[in-house]
C-alpha cells in the first residue's frame, strides 16, 4: 500500500498560479478529498499526481518513489505511475461490453487471457456488476457506468486511486447511494484514494480528511468534523452552508485540552465558546454558529454556561424535513434550522440558546 506526498508543488499557466506551493501527505489507505469552488486548483493538483499535468515547482512522491521533481527534471509518465483514475465523464467505451471495458487496462499490459478473465470478474464482483459482464456499455444507467469505471480503475491493482468529480453526473439520490457504496469498497480494499469534488456534503460523508482549497492555496486540512465545526478562518466556515457570524469581545480565555474556552460578551449578552487559538481580554472575535446548532426557546429561557440571545421571529419556512427560521436579534439577523414540527410563528419573541461547543471563535 502506497501513500502520496506533495512537497511545495506548484503549477503556473502564464503568470497565474493555478496551484501555489501545496504541501500534502496522504497516508497509505487514507481517503483524502480536495474540496473547493471551480478554479481553486483541486483538479490541477489531482492531474499533477496522475502525471497528466507537469508541476513547475516542487516534488511529488508515490510511496517511496519520486515521480516528479521540477528542479531536477524528473517526470515519470502517467502509465508508469501505477495509478487508477476515474473521470467525471466515466470514459466508458460505447463499442465495448462491460467485460471488455473493465479488461482493457489488463489487455494493453498484455496479461494472459485467463488472468484477464479472473481479475475482471473479481473487479466486477467488487462493484456488484458481475451479472452485467456481457451487456453493451450504452445499455447501462449512469450509476452502473460509474461502477464500471471504478472496476476498470481497480482491475490492475493500482497503488493509488484518483477520482475527479466521479458522482457529479448522477442525480442527488443516486449520488448519495453510489458514494456510500464506493466508500465501502475503498475501506474494504484499503486503497489510498485522492478524490476531487466541489460538493461539501459529499466531502463530509466520504473522507478521512478534507483539504479545503481556494485560489490555488490550501486553507485548511482536517477531518470533516474539524473543517466543519472548527474552521481556521471565515473563508473555510462560509464554504460550508450558511453559518451565522456574530461580533463579540473576549472577557477571558483559558486552555481546555487542545482548544481554548473563551468567555465572550456583546451588547446585552455574554457566554462561553471555543476557539483554536489563544485570545487576550479585550480582543475582538467573530463567533461562528451553525444554523442547526441554535435552539429556539420561550423568552427568558436559558442558563449559566450558555449563550442566550433575545430575538423576534421574522420568517419561518417549512421545508419538509426541517424548518428554516429567520430571527431579528437586534444588531443582526440569525438563520437557524429547526425541527419541522417546531412552533415558530413570525412576530413571536423567543430566546435563542447556543451551547459552548456549538460556538466557535475566529479572528475577524
Name the β-bridge partners of 336: 325
- C-alpha distance across the termini of the chain, in Å: 43
Distance between CA atoms of residues 247 and 287, nearest Å? 6
Average pLDDT over residues 337-357: 93
The pLDDT score that the predictor gives to residue 248 is 96
Q: How far apart are CA 281 and CA 299, in angstroms?
A: 30
Residues 8 and 37 in one domain: yes
**How much is the mean pLDDT over the chain?**
92
Mean pLDDT of 265-285: 95
What's the confidence (pLDDT) of residue 185? 84
Give the Cα separation of 282 and 249 in Å (integer): 6
Q: Are residues 356 and 275 in the same domain?
A: yes
Higher pLDDT, 20 or 185: 20
Residue 167 is predicted with a pLDDT of 83
Domain boundary among 237, 270, 293: 237
The Cα-based distances of 281 to 70, 262, 304 in angstroms read: 47, 9, 20
Q: Which of 218, 237, 256 is the last residue of a domain?
A: 237
Question: What's the pLDDT score for residue 363?
Answer: 94
Q: Which of 94, 92, 104 is nearest to 155 (CA)?
A: 104
pLDDT band at residue 92 under the 50/70/90 scheme? confident
**Given this model, what pLDDT does residue 177 score?**
83
pLDDT digits (tens, 9 = 90+) for 99-145: 999 999 899 888 999 999 999 999 898 888 889 999 998 888 888 88
pLDDT at 7: 98
Q: Per the structure block, which three cell numbers stand in for 347?
A: 412576530
Q: Is the pLDDT of residue 88 over 80?
A: no
Which band of pLDDT confidence, cut at 50, 70 and 90, is reported for residue 1?
confident
**Rounded mean pLDDT, 201-222:** 96
Shared domain check, 254 and 224:
no
**Which residue in this structure is represented by grid cell 442547526?**
292
Nearest to 163 by CA among 181, 182, 188: 182
Greater model confidence, 209 or 166 = 209
Q: Which of 9, 20, 42 is closest to 194 using CA atoms?
A: 42
Q: Which candidate, 235, 236, 199, places its Cα nearest to that of 33? A: 199
Q: Identify the domain boundary among 203, 220, 237.
A: 237
Is 218's pLDDT higher than 80?
A: yes
pLDDT of residue 171: 79
Q: Is the dihedral of CA 46, 47, 51, 53 positive or negative?
A: negative
- In tens, the pLDDT along 7-61 reads 999 999 999 999 999 999 999 999 999 999 999 999 999 999 999 999 999 999 9
Q: What is the CATH number of the domain that holds 100?
A: 3.40.50.300
Residue 338 grid coordinates: 429547526
Tell me: pLDDT of 148 over 80. Answer: yes
Query: So what's the pLDDT on residue 180?
Result: 87
**What pLDDT band is residue 358 in, cutting at 50, 70 and 90?**
very high
Q: Residue 179 has what pLDDT?
A: 86
pLDDT at 182: 84
Distance of CA 289 to the CA centre of its chain: 20
Largest CA distance in the chain: 77
Is residue 241 pLDDT above 80, yes or no? yes
Same domain, 167 and 299: no
Q: Tens digit of pLDDT for each residue in 285-331? A: 999 999 999 999 999 888 888 999 999 999 999 999 999 999 999 88
36 plus 162 within the same structural domain:
yes
* pLDDT average, residue stretch 62-81: 95
Q: What pLDDT does 354 receive?
A: 96
Q: Are residues 332 and 225 in the same domain?
A: no
* pTM metric for this prediction: 0.89
Both 175 and 257 in one domain: the answer is no
Residue 161: alpha-carbon gap to chain centroid: 16
Clarify whether residues 250 and 168 are in a common domain: no
pLDDT score for 55: 97
Answer yes or no: are the C-beta atoms of 195 and 30 closer than 8 Å: no
Whether 155 and 255 map to the same domain: the answer is no
For residue 351, the domain's CATH number is 2.40.50.140
Q: Are 307 and 268 a contacting pair, CB within 8 Å?
A: no
Domain that holds residue 301: 242-362
What is the total count of domains within the chain? 2
Give yes or no: residues 26 and 128 share one domain: yes
Q: Does residue 80 sit in the same domain as residue 132? A: yes
pLDDT score for 219: 97
Residues 167, 194, single domain; the answer is yes
Amino acid at each position: 500500500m502506497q501513500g502520496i506526498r506533495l512537497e511545495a508543488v506548484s503549477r503556473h499557466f502564464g503568470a497565474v498560479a493555478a496551484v501555489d506551493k501545496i504541501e500534502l501527505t496522504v497516508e497509505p489507505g487514507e481517503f483524502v478529498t480536495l474540496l473547493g469552488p471551480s478554479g481553486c486548483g483541486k483538479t490541477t493538483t489531482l492531474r499533477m499526481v496522475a502525471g497528466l499535468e507537469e508541476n513547475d515547482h516542487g516534488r511529488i512522491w508515490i510511496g517511496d518513489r519520486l515521480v516528479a521533481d521540477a528542479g531536477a527534471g524528473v517526470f515519470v509518465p502517467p502509465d508508469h505511475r501505477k495509478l487508477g483514475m476515474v473521470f467525471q465523464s466515466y470514459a466508458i467505451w460505447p463499442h465495448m461490453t462491460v467485460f471488455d471495458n473493465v479488461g482493457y487496462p489488463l489487455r494493453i499490459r498484455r496479461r494472459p487471457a485467463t488472468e484477464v478473465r479472473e481479475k475482471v470478474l473479481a473487479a466486477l464482483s467488487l462493484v456488484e456488476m458481475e451479472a452485467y459482464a456481457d451487456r453493451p456499455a450504452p445499455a447501462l444507467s449512469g450509476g452502473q457506468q460509474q461502477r464500471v469505471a471504478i472496476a476498470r480503475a481497480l482491475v490492475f491493482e493500482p497503488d493509488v486511486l484518483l477520482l475527479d468529480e466521479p458522482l457529479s453526473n448522477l442525480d442527488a439520490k443516486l449520488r448519495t447511494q453510489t458514494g456510500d457504496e464506493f466508500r465501502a469498497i475503498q475501506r474494504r480494499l484499503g486503497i489510498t484514494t485522492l478524490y476531487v469534488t466541489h460538493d461539501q456534503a459529499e466531502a463530509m460523508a466520504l473522507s478521512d480528511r478534507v483539504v479545503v482549497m481556494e485560489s490555488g492555496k490550501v486553507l485548511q486540512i482536517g477531518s470533516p468534523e474539524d473543517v466543519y465545526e472548527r474552521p481556521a478562518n471565515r473563508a473555510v466556515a462560509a464554504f460550508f452552508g450558511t453559518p451565522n457570524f456574530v461580533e463579540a469581545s473576549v472577557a477571558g480565555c483559558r486552555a481546555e485540552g487542545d482548544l481554548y474556552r473563551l468567555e465572550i460578551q456583546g451588547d446585552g449578552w455574554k457566554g462561553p465558546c471555543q476557539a483554536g487559538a489563544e485570545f487576550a481580554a479585550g480582543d475582538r472575535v467573530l463567533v461562528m454558529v451553525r444554523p442547526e446548532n441554535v435552539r429556539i426557546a420561550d423568552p427568558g429561557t436559558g442558563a449559566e454556561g450558555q449563550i442566550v440571545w433575545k430575538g423576534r421571529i421574522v420568517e419561518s419556512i417549512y421545508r419538509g424535513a426541517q424548518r428554516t427560521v429567520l430571527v431579528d436579534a437586534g444588531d443582526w439577523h440569525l438563520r437557524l434550522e429547526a425541527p419541522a414540527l417546531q412552533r415558530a410563528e413570525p412576530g413571536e419573541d423567543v430566546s435563542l440558546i447556543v451551547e459552548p461547543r456549538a460556538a466557535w471563535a475566529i479572528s475577524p
